[in-house]
């Protein structure tokens, strides 16, 4: 029976062998030291125990050379462990530029997965073999944790902030997806599967499950929320042009410069007055609490992912893709608190 219980999960990613090598090395060093210290404790306890009532312990002066040895020698071992572990952490924390990006949303008690092509999954994650996969994660409620033991990947999923990790599968099959952070009553049921497929099968799976890309859904939401009231990309714009914005530096009115990453865009949508772009007025209303649509089962986090995907898609190639921001439309009313156009301006347009 015990022969069927594996000591370790299978090594199914490029980083798993490095993680296991570090773990086993530290385990070996700790085991040797624990055994050695235990044997010395027993030896000295027997060798130097008191043999008579009137026996007195002699005065023993320390040997400075020996003290320096047992102080410095472990330091080198600890430094080696730290540098080795930091190297692995750094490689996991920095995904390759060509990694396939997949969005993971944690919710009590399920995993919602969204692919860039619009495909969605619940408690399942389909990925191609031998290709780097970047997971962009966020939570709808409490702290969760994506745990992929077969790939030696583990990352906290935090409400209100995006976290990232990546892995490159090296073998096909079905592997475990756990929540490694206690998150409530049904935490133990928050499990799923990672299905690693050959590239051609993965492409066929995407084709069968395509519903419209996240960017396209984000564009629809951009129009519905009347974001183009201000971000119109034309001479009447009242807010910055969003084309080519993603991952670019943004200069603020207070003199700071920030990068327009996912966290910045999320904050700008939910709390727009925290960081005002240089040269623009703080007229944008908050959209916090206005993005969710219970009738279509659209949560605020899902809506944010769609809007970010759309902004990310704008103007990626400035020589080919220009003026992608749609023009204004009066099909939907502007959100509560949005600035209104003067009446004479509307008359002039008509």
Question: What CATH number corresponds to the domain at position 125?
Answer: 2.60.40.420
Among 165, 189, 212, give the residue marking a domain's end: 212
* Averaged pLDDT for residues 46-64: 79
User: Which residues are 193's β-sheet partners?
Assistant: 124, 176
* Averaged pLDDT for residues 249-269: 89
141, 181 contact by CB (below 8 A): no
Q: Is the confidence at residue 172, as pLDDT, over 90?
A: yes
* Averaged pLDDT for residues 168-194: 91
Q: Is the confidence at residue 330, as pLDDT, over 50?
A: no
Q: Is the confidence at residue 329, as pLDDT, over 50?
A: no
105, 140 contact by CB (below 8 A): yes
Question: Distance (Å, rounded) from C-alpha 74 to C-alpha 167?
Answer: 33
Give yes or no: residues 245 and 318 share one domain.
yes
Q: Is the confidence at residue 207, as pLDDT, over 90?
A: no
CA-derived radius of gyration, the chain: 29
Residue at 47 is within a domain: no
Nearest by Cα to 246 from 175, 314, 176, 167: 314
Give yes or no: residues 186 and 237 share one domain.
no
Residue at 130 is within a domain: yes
The 3-state DSSP class for residue 339 equals coil
Among 212, 235, 263, give the residue marking a domain's end: 212
Residue at 345 is within a domain: no
Q: Is the confidence at residue 230, as pLDDT, over 50?
A: yes
Q: At what angle do helices 262-270 and 300-313 cross, to 10 degrees?
A: 120
Give yes or no: residues 195 and 282 share one domain.
no
Give yes or no: residues 207 and 318 share one domain.
no
Question: What CATH number corresponds to the domain at position 229?
Answer: 1.10.760.10
Q: Is the confidence at residue 3, as pLDDT, over 80?
A: no
Q: Is the confidence at residue 342, as pLDDT, over 50?
A: no
Q: Is the confidence at residue 61, as pLDDT, over 90?
A: no
Give yes or no: residues 89 and 218 share one domain.
no
Give yes or no: residues 267 and 302 share one domain.
yes
Among 184, 212, 240, give the residue marking a domain's end: 212
Residue with tokens 């970047």: 134
Give yes or no: residues 221 and 305 share one domain.
yes
pLDDT computed for residue 194 by the predictor: 93
Give yes or no: residues 20 and 161 share one domain.
yes
pLDDT computed for residue 320 by the predictor: 32
Give yes or no: residues 152 and 248 share one domain.
no
Give yes or no: residues 124 and 105 share one domain.
yes
Cβ neighbours for 211, distance < 8 A, ≥ 6 positions apart:
118, 119, 120
Burial class (CB in 10 A: 0-12, 13-18, 19+), 239: buried
pLDDT computed for residue 211 by the predictor: 64
Question: Distance (Å, rounded) from C-alpha 25 to C-alpha 176?
Answer: 25
Residue at 155 is within a domain: yes
Residue at 2 is within a domain: no
* Averaged pLDDT for residues 274-280: 88
Tens digit of each residue's pLDDT (9 = 90 or more) over 84-130: 999 998 888 888 888 999 999 999 889 999 888 878 888 999 999 99
| Total of domains in the chain | 2
Give percent of the chain above pLDDT 90: 29
154, 186 contact by CB (below 8 A): no
Tens digit of each residue's pLDDT (9 = 90 or more) over 9-46: 888 899 988 998 999 999 998 999 999 999 999 998 88
Residue at 347 is within a domain: no
pLDDT computed for residue 4 by the predictor: 64
pLDDT computed for residue 5 by the predictor: 64
Residue at 57 is within a domain: no
Give yes or no: residues 170 and 270 share one domain.
no
pLDDT computed for residue 321 by the predictor: 39
Tell me the residue range of the domain where 332 lies: 214-339
Give yes or no: residues 91 and 184 share one domain.
yes
Residue at 55 is within a domain: no
Average pLDDT, the chain: 82
Of the candidate ranges 121-125, 132-136, 226-230, the one whose mean pLDDT is the lowest: 226-230
């Amino acid at each position: 029976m015990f022969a069927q219980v594996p000591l370790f999960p299978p090594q199914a990613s490029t980083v798993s062998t490095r993680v296991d090598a570090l773990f086993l090395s530290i385990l070996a060093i700790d085991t040797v030291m624990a055994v050695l210290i235990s044997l010395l404790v027993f030896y000295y306890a027997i060798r130097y125990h008191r043999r008579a009532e009137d026996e007195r312990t002699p005065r023993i002066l320390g040997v400075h050379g020996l003290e320096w040895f047992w102080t410095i020698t472990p330091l080198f071992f600890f430094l080696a462990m730290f540098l080795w572990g930091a190297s692995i952490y750094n490689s996991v924390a920095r995904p390759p530029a060509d990694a396939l990006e997949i969005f993971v949303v944690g919710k009590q008690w399920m995993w919602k997965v969204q692919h860039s092509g619009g495909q969605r999954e619940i408690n399942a994650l389909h990925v191609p073999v031998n290709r780097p996969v970047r997971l962009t994660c966020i939570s709808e409620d409490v702290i969760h944790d994506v745990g992929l033991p077969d790939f030696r990947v583990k990352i906290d999923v935090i409400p209100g902030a995006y976290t990232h990790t990546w892995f490159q599968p090296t073998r096909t099959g079905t592997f475990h997806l756990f929540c490694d952070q206690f998150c409530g009553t049904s935490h133990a049921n928050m499990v799923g599967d990672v299905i690693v497929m050959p590239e051609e099968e993965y492409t066929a799976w995407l084709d069968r499950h395509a519903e419209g890309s996240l960017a396209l859904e984000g564009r629809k939401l951009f129009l519905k929320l009347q974001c183009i009231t201000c971000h119109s990309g034309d001479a009447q714009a009242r807010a910055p042009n969003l084309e080519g914005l993603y991952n670019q530096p943004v200069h603020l009115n207070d003199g700071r410069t920030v990068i327009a990453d996912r966290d910045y865009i999320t904050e700008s949508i939910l709390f727009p007055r925290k960081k005002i772009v240089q040269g623009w007025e703080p007229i944008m209303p908050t959209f916090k609490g206005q993005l969710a649509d219970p009738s279509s089962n659209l949560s605020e986090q899902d809506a944010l992912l769609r809007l970010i995907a759309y902004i990310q898609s704008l103007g990626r190639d400035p020589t080919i893709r220009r003026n992608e921001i749609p023009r204004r439309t009066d099909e939907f009313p502007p959100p509560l608190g949005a600035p209104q156009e003067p009446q004479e301006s509307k008359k002039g347009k008509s």
